[in-house]
Amino acid sequence: MYFTLLAIIAVIPFVLGIVILFHNRTPLFNVAVAFLILLAVWQFDISLLYGTDLFSKEFVLRWFSLLRFGIIFNLPIVCLFMYLLLTRYSKTGFFAKTIPLAGLRLLLIASVMLSMAVFVVSNTRYGIKNMTVYDDGYPFPLHYYPQFGDWQWAFLLNIGLTLLIAFVLIFLSFFLAVKEYRFFSVNLSIAIFTVIGIGMLSGYKILPLFVSGISSVMLTLLIFIGLIQNLNRGLKDQKNLLHKIMNLNPNYIYVKNEDHQFILVNEAMAGLYGSEADEILYHTDLELNPRSVQAVRIEMEEKKVMLGIKPKYEKLEKIVDYRGDTKWIEVLKIPVVLEGKQLILCVGTDITQRIRDEEYILKTEKMSVVGELAAGVAHEIRNPLTSLKGFVQFLGEDGTLSNHNILRIMSEEIDRINEVVDELLLIAKPQGKSFKEIYAAEILDDVLLMLKETANAFHIQFDANIDPGVSFSGNKNHLKQVFLNLVKNSIEAMEFGGTIRIWCVNTSDGFAEFILEDEGEGIEQDRIDKLGEPFFTTKERGTGLGLTVCYKIIKEEHRGTIQFQSQVGKGTKVTIRLPLDPLGKENV
């Protein structure tokens, strides 16, 4: 009975060693596999001693001596373990620097040679010379007991060195760099030291022999627990790494279940809702945006994907985030089946900037074409226009003609055409950087003086708050044209009169900031983005070139910014920011 029980116990570490071998083949775990297999051989070797009713003394003596390598060759295993810890897994490399690498290799070779010598001796009369039967009663049942030879000291030396190195390994294990390896190594070192120690106490009748079998099972389970925790930590670390990679990805990534609830969300996607990823898990789009038509549309599209109506969904979508900003997203939605559950994976790429860049390139190309066209048209028109203007003036001086009113209108229309030609030429020709120090008050005072009579005719007042100390480098005439266009547009937009307010200050970040605010009819939001494009205008008889010239002077020539804000029926606000030294800013 004892032999059968202990033989079954010996199978446990062997099976665990095979399991580890198939799940993890790193050098550290290979050491554990070798130890468990040797432990299984040793435990089976001990079980033979309890086969008094099954085996003869000669049979037990022969096989006990052969299978004794299970305990003897633990010395090379612990030396290999030490070698790996000091050369591959040490946290700081301190021990590897203290102990020469050649010394570690020499120790490993010596341990192999010593173990082989001890094994050879153990299979002679100098190691184990005979078997006797002992029946000392409980807790020492009937069993064979070896009679040791004169060289038994070699075996004891082998075991003593194994225990010493195993004890040192317990301490060295704390210097492993990887946490899961550190935990497993401590467990393995303790297991080796404890199993061999208890085995020696059992071999010399201090403890019953079967105690070593029970300790082997317990410590095998300890190693198994270490393996499971190692695997769990590895899976947890992989999960954390995947989450970190997913969160670092600028694309919008999420997974939804059959109920359209978010079950996996990266931080970029959570940013569209203005919340953390954990806060939107197990919620639907409709729950996060109860009144959103966008949420209804998304859910309907995802239903089609899950039902297989659209096996793969690819589309460019216009999305509005929680701040109200519009984004263009390239969306890819794919159905996924995981453990019988229908899921949907979505990856969205924000191409808003790319679309803006493309629009800017198109606008730039359009400006280039308009510039070339403008130069040709302006020169072709200007020559005959000059002639027509001269003839009209000549006819106007003739006192015999009665249609002076018609000639006056013709002269005014020719002047208007001439203004358009001047604007075309300003668009076409490159602007030189002939800047000088100018004061904002000088420009605005001249503009308001020129438009004062026109403003009075429309019952419009100016409320100017201009810091007299605001000065910057720029082209005075060109900037005067900008403010003339803007103030004139405001006057024309205020059909029923009102007040035009103008501010001008120096900002702390090195800009001169101008703000013009009127009380006119305002501009629709979808038309603001098109302001500045050639031939786009909100006026019935406008050409759209006035604002195009303004944009060119402010943005390209003076390296500034111009921004329009407007509400229909309430008015328009224009903010212009000019760097104090545009040439210096450009050269930085």
Count how many domains the chain has: 4
pLDDT digits (tens, 9 = 90+) for 202-238: 766 676 666 666 666 666 666 666 666 666 666 676 7
Both 214 and 341 in one domain: the answer is no
Rounded Cα distance, 291 and 414, in Å: 57
b (16+ CB within 10 A) / e for 476-491? eebbbbbbbbbbbbbb
Average pLDDT of the residues in 480-508 = 88
- Stated as kind and residue range, the H or E segment containing 498 is strand 498-506
pLDDT on residue 417: 67
Average pLDDT of the residues in 304-328 = 77
Domain boundary among 241, 261, 295: 241
pLDDT on residue 232: 65
Structure tokens at 544: 């759209």
Average pLDDT of the residues in 251-258 = 86
Both 377 and 272 in one domain: the answer is no
269: CATH: 3.30.450.20
pLDDT digits (tens, 9 = 90+) for 385-443: 665 666 666 666 665 555 666 666 666 666 666 666 665 555 555 455 567 888 989 88
Kindly tell me if the per-residue pLDDT of 310 is higher than 90.
no
Rounded Cα distance, 272 and 331, in Å: 14
Least confidently predicted of 227-236, 246-255, 333-342, 535-544: 535-544
Structure tokens at 39: 């432990």
Residue 378: band (very low, low, confident or very high) from pLDDT cuts 50, 70, 90: low
What is the chain's mean pLDDT, rounded? Answer: 77
- Stated as kind and residue range, the H or E segment containing 121 is helix 101-122
pLDDT on residue 76: 92
Residue 92: band (very low, low, confident or very high) from pLDDT cuts 50, 70, 90: very low
Both 123 and 191 in one domain: the answer is yes
* 13 or 236, which is more confident: 13
Both 452 and 484 in one domain: the answer is yes
Average pLDDT of the residues in 74-79 = 89
* Domain that includes residue 263, residue range: 249-350
Average pLDDT of the residues in 529-538 = 61
Both 162 and 25 in one domain: the answer is yes
**Phi and psi (nearest 5°) for 531?**
-60, 135
Rounded Cα distance, 462 and 441, in Å: 14
Both 40 and 159 in one domain: the answer is yes
374: CATH: 1.10.287
Both 186 and 291 in one domain: the answer is no
Residue 18: band (very low, low, confident or very high) from pLDDT cuts 50, 70, 90: confident
* 588 or 50, which is more confident: 50
Average pLDDT of the residues in 34-57 = 84
Kindly tell me if the per-residue pLDDT of 563 is higher than 70.
yes
Residue 344: band (very low, low, confident or very high) from pLDDT cuts 50, 70, 90: confident
* 483 or 12, which is more confident: 483
Least confidently predicted of 125-129, 475-479, 503-507: 475-479
Q: Environment class of residue 115 by beta-carbon count within 10 Å: exposed (0-12), middle (13-18) or buried (19+)?
A: buried
Residue 585: band (very low, low, confident or very high) from pLDDT cuts 50, 70, 90: very low
67: CATH: 1.20.1070
DSSP at 309: S
Structure tokens at 478: 């060109």
Both 112 and 181 in one domain: the answer is yes
Residue 533: band (very low, low, confident or very high) from pLDDT cuts 50, 70, 90: low
582: CATH: 3.30.565.10
Both 358 and 346 in one domain: the answer is no
Kindly tell me if the per-residue pLDDT of 188 is higher than 60.
yes
Kindly tell me if the per-residue pLDDT of 588 is higher than 50.
no
The label of the residue with tokens 């006119």 reads 520
pLDDT on residue 375: 59
Structure tokens at 140: 């020492």
Both 414 and 308 in one domain: the answer is no
Contact 205, 224 (CB under 8 A): no
**End-to-end CA distance of the chain, in Å?**
92
Structure tokens at 492: 């024309």
Structure tokens at 150: 């004169």
Short-list 194, 187, 259, 201, CA closest to 28:
187
Both 454 and 510 in one domain: the answer is yes
Share of the chain above pLDDT 70, in %: 71
Kindly tell me if the per-residue pLDDT of 586 is higher than 50.
no
* 90 or 321, which is more confident: 321
- Helix/strand/coil for 105: helix
pLDDT on residue 176: 72
Both 149 and 51 in one domain: the answer is yes
Domain boundary among 207, 241, 275: 241
Rounded Cα distance, 451 and 456, in Å: 9
Domain boundary among 381, 405, 428: 428
pLDDT digits (tens, 9 = 90+) for 104-156: 888 889 999 999 999 999 888 888 888 888 776 555 577 788 888 889 889 88
